[in-house]
Amino acid sequence: MQQKHFRHTAVLAAAVLAALCAAAPAQAADAPSAPGAADYNAAQKVLSSSRVQDTVSRFLTAAEQHTAPAGADGGTSLAPAVKAPAKAPGFQLRQPVPYFELSPEFVAAKARPTAAQALRVSYLASRVAASDGHQAAVLLAPQGGTHNWQLAGIQDGGGDLSFAEQGTAKAHAFTFTEPQIHAWYRLTAGGSVEPLNKEAAAGLHGRHQVTLAAYQQLVNKRYGDKLPGSRYDRKGYTGGYALAGDDQAAPTAAAPASPAGPASWRPAAYGAAALMTAGTAGALLRRRRRNAM
């Protein structure tokens, strides 16, 4: 009797183990393709290169030169900007994290609503921690070939990077961006899409979560007719998207090509978080300050 019980327990344990082993590959298969160790090693070499270090240094100097002093009320003063010291602030470049965005096949509703088919890496982003407190992100875009990365630009501020960093905090959960409306979401292990900022909440029409299939329907309605090769694209309407209900897009003048390259499906610039190099930092910061007035 006791021997029979042991045999039954052994058979049950073997069945459970087999089920777990069968489920593991399925779960791994339903994950977006993420950078591997070789990618991070290659990215670290780019980040430590003299070119990137010099570009970040010049960017921080330009940002300091064009930052207006705070007024007495805590706001921005209209007084002339204080000239930056000749020496740029010291800085560190942190371990890069992936920026996930939607795949064009997912947006076109030609891919199944799974994590593996919905998301892809657009950039590796490294936080710039400057000694004067300035925050920025160095963006590296994939280049032709395996494990190759190139400097794509510098994103001022650290807000978007904070959202991307949240994707490394939970197992089997991924954060991703819908850059046309500057929205950030979390794709949970259970396949739900949750908003992480107010733009994402607006993108989900105020809902706290939707299924990935429901989210695919939303983005297909927003951008499905604006992919590369579409009439929208051929007319050069690539500058922006207005979320005024999912039945109306507001085309604007053509914007410069995304640093992600021509393979990117994006019909818009990178939302409110401008991509910039050191040479354009001052002009963009000045324009941002004028827009805020």
Inter-CA distances, 72 with 69, 76, 293, Å: 10, 9, 16
User: Which value, to the nearest 10 degrees, does the dihedral of the CA atoms of residues 161, 162, 163, 168 take?
Assistant: 90
* pTM greater than the 0.85 cutoff: no
CB distance 148 to 35 below 8 Å: no
Extract the tokens encoding 243. Answer: 């979320």
Q: What angle do CA 33, 39, 42 make, to 5 degrees?
A: 165
Q: Considering the chain, what percentage of its residues have pLDDT values greater than 90? A: 44
Query: What is the domain partition of the chain in residue ranges?
Result: 31-219+256-292
State how far the Cα of 293 lies from the Cα of 286, in Å rounded to an integer: 11
Kindly report, residue by residue over 150-196, the tens digit of the pLDDT. Answer: 999 999 988 899 999 988 666 678 999 998 899 999 999 889 999 99
State how far the Cα of 270 lies from the Cα of 239, in Å rounded to an integer: 9
Q: Which residue has the higher pLDDT, 30 or 148?
A: 148
CB distance 58 to 50 below 8 Å: no
- Strands 97-102, 174-178: pairing kind: parallel
Give the gyration radius of the chain's Cα atoms.
23
Q: Nearest-CA neighbor of 102 among 189, 235, 193, 26?
A: 193
Q: How confident is the model at residue 275 (pLDDT cuts 50, 70, 90)?
A: very low
State the sign of the Cα–Cα–Cα–Cα dihedral 226, 232, 236, 242. Answer: negative
Question: Burial letters for 106-127: b for 16+ Cβ neighbours within 10 Å, e otherwise?
Answer: bbbeebebbbebbbbbbbbbbb
Helix (H, G, I), strand (E, B) or coil at 247: coil
Q: Nearest-CA neighbor of 123 among 46, 187, 188?
A: 46
Kindly report, residue by residue over 125-160, the tens digit of the pLDDT. Answer: 999 999 989 999 999 999 887 789 999 999 998 889
